[in-house]
Amino acid sequence: MTQTPPPPNSDDPRGQGPRGPDDQPPPRGGWGGGDQPPPPGGWGPGQPYPQQPPPKKRRRGLIAIAIVVVALAVCGGIIAAMMGGGSDEPETTGGGGDTEQPASEAPATEGEDSEEDAAGTLGEPVRDGNFEFTVNSVDCGAAQVGDEFLSDKAQGQFCLVDVTVKNIGDRPQTFLDTDQNAFDANGNEHTVDSEAGVIANDNADVWISDINPGNELNGILVFDMPADQDITSLELHDSSFSGGVKVTV
């Protein structure tokens, strides 16, 4: 007599048939909230695993925007403070509306010499540009210059200025008598009389020649001054565009 074997117990793993590659047991503790059960038939070949959703970036974007806004606000405050702090507008009074008067300029200190204080004197070398000047003497009162054959008469009186000019530069340069000026006690400016100067220098125009570096020339500058006015100072220039230097006499 043949015995029929009992049906396999579903709860007994030994009674189940062999498992296929698609049969996967559930993870320990069951399928969690973030875990998804395998599709029917298991994860078969060619089927992709489920992808996780990308992380949310909204919070990071808000933080970056907040940082930019704060930086712009700080820069704007600095610029406004710089522009507002430099205002030089005078304050007005509440009653009369008069503006505040600016303070007067402070007087020059003792160490700041004026142009007159820096002036040279007779026999003292002074410099302007590439020339060094030495006024040797000033003689006024001549009614004419020259001799019986060639002379020139003054409108008032001739003042003869004996001057030595030395080139202290590094290139040749011409000294022009027309660039030199004389001043009387009233501060009036007088120009040189070049024609009388040619005669006073023995009919030789010494001021036309170039003076080479290191060389010097000596000659007479002639000024036609009023009969009642003498030269009190000279302003000597190395060119028409120089600042000049004063010599008191």
Domain ranges, ordered by start, for the chain: 126-248
- The answer to whether 125 touches 134, Cβ cutoff 8 Å, is yes
pLDDT band at 221 (very low <50, low <70, confident <90, very high): very high
177: closest CA among 121, 249, 235, 127?
235
Distance CA 236, CA 175 (A): 10
Measured CA to CA, the distance from residue 225 to residue 234 in angstroms comes to 13
- 67-78: average pLDDT: 68
Share of the chain above pLDDT 70, in %: 54
Q: Which residues contact 51 (CB under 8 A, 6 or more apart)?
A: none
Q: Which residue has the higher pLDDT, 192 or 25?
A: 192
pLDDT(10) > 60: no
Q: What is the arithmetic mean of pLDDT over 180-209? A: 91
Q: Give the pLDDT mean for 124-137.
A: 97
Per-residue pLDDT reduced to its tens digit, 228-247: 999 999 999 999 999 999 99
Mean per-residue pLDDT of the chain: 76
Closest CA to 233 of 242, 223, 243: 223
Quote the tokens at residue 197.
Answer: 């100067």
Which phi-psi region, left, alpha or beta, contains residue 196 (left: φ > 0; alpha: ψ -120 to 50)? alpha
Q: Tell me the C-alpha to C-alpha distance, in Å, between residue 182 and each of 79, 220, 240.
A: 57, 13, 15
The residue with greater pLDDT, 149 or 128, is: 128
Q: What is the pLDDT of residue 76?
A: 67
Report the topology of domain 126-248.
Immunoglobulin-like (2.60.40)
Residue type, position 128, single letter: D
Q: What is the pLDDT of residue 182?
A: 98
Q: What is the pLDDT of residue 204?
A: 77
